[in-house]
Amino acid sequence: MKFGMRFHAHLVLVVVAAACATPKLAPEPQTAAPSTPLSRAAARLPLSPCTLPGVNETVLCGELRRPENRERPAGRTIPIYVVVIPALSPTPRPDPWVEVSGGPGNAATDYTRDYVGTGVSRAYRRDRDVLLMDARGMGRSNPLYCEEISLNRISSLFSRWPLDSVRKCREKLAAVADLSQYSTGRTADDLEAVRVWLGYPKLNLWGYSYGTRSVLTYMQRHPASVRSAILWGVVPPDYRRPLFYARDSERAMDRLLADCLAAAPCARAFPRVREELRTVLDHLDRAPVPVTLKRPVTGEPLPTSITRAGFAQALWVALAYPDEAHKLPMVIHHAARGDFAPFLEMDVATAPPRRRYYNAAHLSIICPEETQHIRPDEIESHHRGTFMPPDRAHEYLAACKLWAVPTLPGATLEPIRSDVPTLIVSGYMDPFTPPELGDRVARHLTNSRHLVIRHLSHEPNGMSGTDCLDRLSLAFVAKPEPAKLDARCATRMGPPAFVLSRLPSQ
């Protein structure tokens, strides 16, 4: 996982669409040299050479058939699709690097391109295979996706879960999938089956965002199969989205604005930025601001409005990206004067989804494991006094009611205990998975270390010194001893400068 290359889009929302195309199997090599990494790996793994869209190297692909419902082994089976990027060493380590993607809704094999090429890409596979498995319901593992839901997500100003689209999606997919069988636990067991199938004795797991909960679940269910684990932006078992979005985004916004007021140029430009944010929110509470967007592809005009909920949603997403977050004081300042043009110019506000996100799989995981454990009477108190209104929380509850999958037992919310060597990385500025969540998980991982990086958010876009993140990951997987890891480079990672004015081209 290459930090400097990877974080260009919000992973709770999107994945690379091109990588969802069916891989093209490469012809069997006729005169392949036996000393190539590909041929060496093909000789020891039950996989076939293949080419993937956007990946300029032949890798190994295959699928393992698994019961959709393990209580009905004679029933429907689904494919679990895997990609292995072979180690470069002629004598690779037996335990691969495994990236477990976030969301939930992202297909891990879409990130194959991050492990080919030169530079840091090669470092991750220098002496280990890289194993990527599409979780059930994503990528090529019996994908659960509905275009009718995606089409409504033209920007953050629109409902994420339009109920009519959710209803139609469920009716369509219920005929071809048991929507209750796509849980985090089922995926953990699929990964264990893949490990056994491929003959790996142990795995080195790297999880991002929701992927951390997948890693924790695997550690709990298959502890003897884990050599090391890295958790980036922790989603603990008792995380109940979207109940805590408002609380955590308010904290992140407060930290960002404090940084602005502590930096002389930003403080001079926007000395009243906190009051200006309240001014904007009050204005939008009284009356939404009409705007016209463009439809994706056709470019046709699309009249809509900036509401308090839509504005807050865009701020929440922007806070996850340091380069976008450092525009917010300027955006808020202009909006307080009735000028929403800088807001609309932000990708997080109006850019349509650029990548495939397995939205139905998201509901089949989030509804029974998180949202359906929320009591409706909790919502108002968790949003009171924050810039984010409760609209998104109510949308989730309504969508999950329509999705109608059984709620998983409350035991799934209990802390996960493990002595697996674990490195936890949190961003102090993160609005999605703040460091407080990492602290909570670390208390139950007896062989762990929690690094909180001061200027990091959910992603490192725009920061200086991000090569440190790769160095830490590579050093830890080489020698998974949390207490001995030299993490001093993390203190030298710096934030981008605050944007004080719109670019002349804008």
pLDDT in tens, 343-381: 998 877 666 555 689 999 999 999 999 999 999 999 999
Quick check: is 269 in a domain? no
CATH number assigned to the domain comprising residue 466: 3.40.50.1820
- pLDDT reading at 192 higher than 70: yes
pLDDT at 154 over 60: no
pTM metric for this prediction: 0.91
For residue 300, is it within any domain? no
HEC readout, 374-423: CCHHHHHHHHCCCCCCCHHHHHHHHHHHHHCCCCCCHHHHCCCCECCCEE
436 assigned to some structural domain: yes
What's the mean pLDDT in 172-177? 94
Query: What does the DSSP 8-state code read for residue 8?
Result: S
Residue 306 lies in a domain: no
Q: Quick check: is 34 in a domain?
A: no
Q: What percent of the chain has pLDDT over 70?
A: 90
Q: Which residues have C-beta within 8 Å of that of residue 337, sequence separation ≥ 6? A: none
pLDDT band of residue 235 (cuts 50, 70, 90) is very high
Residue with tokens 């997987």: 477
Domain presence at residue 367: no
Instruction: Name the band, by pLDDT with cuts 50, 70 and 90, for residue 505.
Output: very low
CA atoms of 403 and 107, how far apart (whole Å): 21
The answer to whether the CB of 124 falls within 8 A of the CB of 97 is yes
Q: What is the pLDDT of residues 95-138, one digit of tens each?
A: 999 999 999 999 999 999 999 987 788 899 999 999 999 999 99
Is 30 inside any structural domain?
no
pLDDT at 232: 97
**128 falls within a domain:** yes
Poorest-pLDDT segment among 23-27, 42-46, 227-231, 433-437:
23-27
Q: Residue 483 sits in which domain range?
A: 3-17+50-147+170-238+413-492
Q: Could you give the number of structural domains in the chain? A: 1
